[in-house]
Each structure stands twice: as C-alpha cells, then as structure tokens.
Structure 1
Amino acid sequence: MNEELDNITPEENSESLYERSSFVVDKGQDLLRIDKWLHAKLAGVTRNKIQQSIAAGFLTVNGQIVKSNYKVHPGDQVLLMSLTAPPDTSEIVPENIPLEIVYEDDAVIVINKKPNMVVHPGVGNYTGTLLNAIAYHFQKANINTDDEALPRYGMVHRIDKNTTGLIVLAKTAVAAAHLAKQFFDHTVHRRYVAVVWGDMEEEEGTVNAHIARHPRNRKIFAPFPEGEIGKHAITHWKVLEKLNYVTVVECRLETGRTHQIRVHMKYIGHTLFNDAEYDGNRILKGTVYGKYKQFVDNCFEICPRVALHAKSLGFIHPTTGEEVLFESELPEDMTQLIQKWEKYISYAN
C-alpha cells in the first residue's frame, strides 16, 4: 500500500479504484472466445486474470454481461472494468467493530461511517478499519470474500478517515461490477454538507477546475482551471446557512476526484473549516485576537476534524434495477459546531 495514498482523502474517488478498457471488435474479426481475444488485446494481463474478471461480472458486450466462452462478433462493443492498484486485502483480519448499517440486502450494504475511521488497511493503519469491520460482518454471514469471489471486499469507493457519512459496499462480485461502473460513469447521486470559512456572496454556484497533485506538496492536490493538467472535476454548491464568518454549504459532486470538495472550495476562497491539510485549521476570517480567537479555538475542539459529511448517496440497485437513495443526519460534532456559530452571531447581532 502506498503510504501517501493513505494520507489523502478520496471524496468518492472511484477513478483510483477502477479503470475501464473499451474496444470495438474489427469488421474482419473471426469468431473467437472473448477471453482469448482480450488476452491478445491487453498487454501484461494473464488470461487467468481476465477469466476471473469475466466471472466476477466485470465484462460486458453490447451492455450485457457475458461468460468467457462468448464468441466475439464484428462490431461488438466490449467494456472491461478492472481494479487499479487495489489495497492489500489479503491480510485483513476480521474485527468485531460496531457498524452503523443504514441498509443491507443480499447485494449491497450501506454504512454511515463515523469519524476517525480509515476505510481500508494501509501503512500505519492495519487494524481498526472499515474493511476489518466488514470482514467480521461478512464472516458471520458466511460471505466468501476472496478476491476472485468478491474483489477487495466489495469496496467500490472511499471516503476519508475524518470524513463522516454514507459509503456503499457490494456483497457479490456482480454487484461490485455494477456499482463500479456507476461510479466510473459519474451517475451516482452524492451530496455532502460542509462548513467553510467565509461569508459566500452568491447563493449557489459551480466550480469547474481540473485537479492534480500539488507540484510541491505531494500529499495534497491543486486546482488547474485552464485544464492544462489533471483530471476534469465539477462541484455544484449551494448555501444552506450563512453564519457571518463561516457558511454551511451543500456540495453535489458531478465527478469524484481526490480531495475534490476541499480543493474546489479553497479555490473559490472558502476553505473547509478545520481542514488542516489545506490551512483551514487556523482563523481565516475575523480577528486573531481576544474572545473571538478563544471562541474559534473552542470550535476547533468541538469539531476536531475537517467539517465534511457525506449526507446523501443514491444509485441504481444492482439487482432490482430501481433507483435507491439514502440520507444520513449530520454527526454530533458538526451539529454542535453549527449551533455554536448560530449562538455566537445571535449574541453579536
């Protein structure tokens, strides 16, 4: 596991979990088993790995899942989803860690993640993660979690250690493939609530700026509005409540890039409250002296993390084909933070 990756916050950054290879079969192509055909197309990928991906439902032809013995036809549109640099799930030890399960059926499980919980094991975080808890939960349910039966324990997206809120995991390989494609295609409904520094002048807006690693600090990311480098990223935001020196906003992700909300909000001058990596853990609006400083320090203690919560999550259910939407309440630390600011401005006025 890359240590640097564990220190970043992938706000639904499914692009780092899966990549997509697409092909159109040539007009003169003879009938050939698709696993053999793909083996010739994909350099450095074993036929056995291709067969495992096909068995897991990660391959479609003309939009339909097929088996390894499918014979390709001229004009076929072939799409293969594959894992990229997956977390090492071979050493995950099941741990009896309480989970707040919002929804569960035979295909998916939706969890409301608490703060200070890493999603998957990595350098410095080998235990106590969400996947350790999931491994225990799946073990009790007798769900096969080897990588062939259920790639990376059904994880199709991630949220940061200190970001709270909703995350979905698949319970079957077919469900994982279905959800992975939705995240990759940016069709998943995702809304976050954040507290940001500053009084926003507009009621709503859109940030459209590519995102790439910061050229000097490789642990954070930077915006590139001209699109010269990085990945395309769009965030829609609207004001929920103005509190003079801070604002409560809702952010809707059109794309899901690493640190997207944090980078985009700072780019427009509204860094997330108590976001240490982006300098939000110091006073950015108001005086740095007297009672106000003491008040802000108390706010940092109330919410000792970046003030960001994944509130809404919606997707097409991989089994029923119906659209499902889940909502979660703001966690206690963010609720208390907002209430403290409300009281402060009421006294000030």
Structure 2
Amino acid sequence: MLDDLDLINEEAAEELYERKSFKVDKGQEPMRIDKWVQGRIEGATRSKVQKGIDAGFLTVNGQVVKSNYKIKPGDEILMMSLINPEHTELRPENIPLNIVYEDDAVMVLNKPPNMVVHPGVGNFTGTLLNGVAYHFLQQNPNLDEESLPRFGLVHRIDKNTTGLIVLAKTGDAAAHLAKQFFNHTVNRKYVALVWGDVQEDSGTIEAHIARHRQHRKMFDAYPEGETGKHAITHYKVLERFNYVTLVECILETGRTHQIRVHMKHIGHTLFNDWEYGGDRILKGTIYTKYKQFVDNCFEMCPRCALHAQTLGFIHPVTKQPMHFESPLPEDMQSVIEKWRKYMQRKTEE
C-alpha cells in the first residue's frame, strides 16, 4: 500500500490494489496519520507513506487528508493496499510494442498472446514491462523507478490474454490511474469464447474468488461469500454456435482469473483454457470427425480464448474521457469464423 507501484507476481490479481480499512480505537491518543500508518504497514518508510497520502491513496472518514492530520478515536481510515508486492530487478529490453496511443502522461498498448506483463519468478526477461522501460528510457534517459515506480504499471492482464493495457508515464499520472482502478471506475470489456450454449442472453455472476483448495495454481468460485474476495462479472451473449458461445464480459472487479473462474462456475469454461479444463471437448460428441474439427480449432487458437477489447478511463491530466477499442486478434477471429462456418454446414445438412 502507499508503497511504490511495485511489481506483483504473475499469479496476482489484475488489480494491483485492494481496500484496507481501519477504525481508530476509542483510547487512541492524537497522532499524525503518517506515523500511525507507518506502524501498521510492514517495511513502510515515513517518506513512502507521506507520498501515498499526498497522492490521495488514503482517506479519513471519506475525505483526503494531509500527512500531518491528527487521528482521533472513531476515525474510519480507508487506504489502497498493494497486493502481493514482489521486488524484482527490471531490466530494459528493446522489445517491439504495439502502441495504440501515447502522450506525455499515458501510453495504451495492445498486448499480444504469450507475453507476461511484468517480471516475476520464472519470467525475468521478455516481459511487456521490460519493453516499456526501454521505450520510456529512450524518451527520458533520466527516468528511474524513484520518479516513476515500476515504469507506470497500474494494472495487468494474464499472459495468454490479449488486448488493451494502460501505463502511466509520470508519478502523478500513475497515482491518478491507480485510484480509478481501485475505485472500479475504469471501463473494461472482454470478449471470450466459451464452451456450451449459454442459456441466458445476459446475466451477472457474483461469487467470491480465492485459490483452489486442491490445486494451488488455480482459483475457484466460492458463492457462499465467506471465502476469498468479492467479485462481479456481467456477461452478454454476442453469438451462439451451439457447442460454443461468444460472450462479452464486463468486470466490476479485477480478481485473479476472474472471467475464467466465473464462466467455469456457471458451466461455461473458456475455450482452450488448459488450466481450467477447456482444452478438451466439453460440449458435443467425441467421435472422430468432430474431434478433428475441435483439435484444428485448438491449433488455430493455442491459448485461452480471451481478449481485452475495450478500455476506458479519465485522462489523468486533461480529465477527459478516453476510450479505446482493440479488434479481435487473428487467432480468435479465425477460430470464431471456423465455428461460424461449421454451424452453417450443420444447418444446411
């Protein structure tokens, strides 16, 4: 929290921050808020706490305060808390970037499949952020992680998810964008191909998400709401192919593998999502002709069929709404067209 925008590991949530709330005890003596917070955050320094407070990462009774605010009994404190920080050396690398938009404050990229967003265990090089660091340093050789923590990373998407991601180019822009993600005011729409014929034309999935009890690299839905973190996904059917369905998903929260877990929870695992069992036939016959067709589809889209298509946010400097759309990548477009033709042939038979 209030720490720099440090890296988080590849299994961490899409959102880099979660909410932490405190209520000051009745017997608490008056104390500066920065000193009080520092005593409750392991490894926090006074200067980092003050930077976080100045950036608006903390409120008292719903109001932004200054570092010298004196806490009082009963004060309700809400702060942005960094999830799973991982301190990994960031090495700039000359990696081609698909830049959709760039100005002095922000950069929007279109991430390809099979690219990790940031360095972590097992992925120290070749990540999107390695390329971003190199790109930023070409523009400003004096830039470092003191002036722009982790080179502006404020959210992430999975390794095999394609699509839009925004990065900040200044510390102030990073703080502004981070708060938008924290407050769930960023507009994000994803397109996914899922197994099965989704019955309802639209719906909302509300189920907590936490690590799977048996498989620690996976996550699971806990609809009883006592385990994990609150998560909400809205979905809408875009096109039906009987055996698979093309859906649009809108995130209210950004939990780990949220769309993948939520769609599996309602019986519609993402197509070719090997971690969650989508890399085998889940709807339709297992006989040779159909099986060969599905195997060909897997080869055309050799990853989880998920694309971050829409990204909207308020520009941190101009305060104007920004909206970006990314067309479906070739692998997903090809496999969708293949299913479309397959269903046309079935209808004509």
Determine if the TM-score, normalized by the shorter chain, exceeds 0.5: yes
CA distance in 1, matches of 2:346, 2:221: 36
Partners of 1:109 and 1:48 lie apart in 2 by 28
Q: Equivalent residue of 1:313, what SS?
A: strand
Instruction: Please state if 1:243 is matched with 2:250.
Output: no
The residue that corresponds to 2:50 in the other structure is 51
Alignment partner for residue 107 of structure 1, among 102, 105, 116?
105
The code of the aligned residue for 1:125 comes to N
CA contact (8 A) 1:275 1:306 kept: yes
Residue of structure 1 equivalent to 2:5: none
Q: How many residues align?
A: 338
Displacement of 1:111 in angstroms is 0.6
CA distance in 1, matches of 2:337, 2:120: 36
Task: After superposition, give the CA deviation of every residue in 1:88-140 in whole Å (9 maximum; x if it has no partner).
Answer: 34x22111111111111222111110001000111221111001100101110
Tell me which residue corresponds to 2:154.
156
Please state if 1:85 is matched with 2:84: yes
Q: 2:284 aligns with which of 283, 286, 297?
A: 286
Greater shift after overlay, 144-153 or 127-136? Answer: 144-153
Question: Once the 2 structures are TM-superposed, how far is the Cα of residue 55 of structure 1 from its aligned partner?
Answer: 6.0
Q: Which residue of 1 aligns with 2:312?
A: 314
Q: 1:39: Cα distance to partner?
A: 3.4
| Matching of residues 13-32 of structure 1 within 5 Å | 13-14=14-15, 17-21=16-20
- Distance in 1 between residues matched to 2:91 and 2:43, nearest whole Å: 31
Could you give the per-residue CA deviations for residues 53-93 of structure 1, whole angstroms, max 9, x where no partner exists?
34666456765575x5x44476987654343432334x221
Letter of the aligned partner of 2:132 in structure 1?
Answer: I
Which SS does the other structure have where 2:85 is aligned?
coil
Q: Tell me, what secondary structure is at the counterpart of 1:175?
A: helix
Please give the residue correspondences for 1:118-267 in structure 2 after superposition, counting only pairs within 5 Å. 118-142=116-140, 145-267=143-265
Superimposed CA distance per residue, residues 151-171 of structure 1 (whole angstroms, 9 cap, x where no aligned partner): 222111110110000111111
| 8 A Cα contact 2:207 2:232, kept in partner | yes
CA contact (8 A) 1:31 1:71 kept: no
Change (3 A) 1:115 1:85: same
Higher mean C-alpha displacement, 70-79 vs 319-328: 70-79
Given that residues 60 and 79 in structure 1 are in contact (C-alpha distance below 8 angstroms), is that contact kept between their aligned partners in structure 2? yes
Given that residues 180 and 186 in structure 2 are in contact (C-alpha distance below 8 angstroms), is that contact kept between their aligned partners in structure 1?
yes
**Mean Cα deviation higher: 122-131 or 76-85:** 76-85
Q: Distance in 1 between matches of 2:270 and 2:55?
A: 39
Letter in structure 1 aligned against 2:334 = Q
Aligned mates of 1:24, 1:312 — CA distance in 2: 38
How far did 1:147 drift?
A: 3.5
Matched, 1:323 2:316: no
Alignment CA distance shift 1:40-1:198 (3 Å): closer
Q: Distance in 2 between matches of 1:309 and 1:323?
A: 22
AA at the equivalent of 1:197 = W
Unmatched tracts of structure 1, length 5 or more? none
Letter in 2 for 1:208: E
Which letter maps to 1:46? T
Length-normalised TM-score, structure 1: 0.87
Write the deviation string for residues 264-297 of structure 1: whole angstroms up to 9, x where unpaired: 1111111100000010000111111121111110
Give matches, 1:53-72, under 5 Å: 53-54=52-53, 58-59=57-58, 63-64=63-64, 66=66, 68=67, 70-72=68-70
Q: Which amino acid aligns with 1:35?
A: D
Identity %: 67
Determine the C-alpha separation between the residues in 2 that align with 1:314 and 1:290: 44
2-structure distance, mates of 1:263, 1:82: 24
Deviation at 1:46, TM superposition (A): 2.8
Across the aligned residues of Structure 1 and Structure 2, the Cα RMSD in angstroms comes to: 2.7
Distance across 2 between alignment mates of 1:137 and 1:44: 31
Offset, 1:195: 0.4
Kept in 2, the 8 Å contact 1:150–1:172? The answer is yes
The 1:64/1:107 distance shift into structure 2, 3 A limit, reads farther
Q: Residue 339 of structure 1: CA displacement?
A: 0.5
Q: Is the CA contact (8 Å cut-off) linking 2:192 and 2:306 kept in structure 1?
A: yes
Contact 2:148-2:170 within 8 A present in 1 as well: yes
TM-score scaled by length of structure 2: 0.87
Shift of 1:212: 0.9
**Could you tell which deviates more after superposition, 44-53 or 299-308?**
44-53
Q: Work out whether residues 56 and 150 of structure 1, in 8 Å CA contact, stay in contact via their aligned partners in 2.
A: no
4+ residue runs over 2 A deviation: 17-46, 51-66, 70-89, 143-148
Instruction: Report if aligned partners of 1:210, 1:229 keep a CA contact under 8 Å in 2.
Output: yes
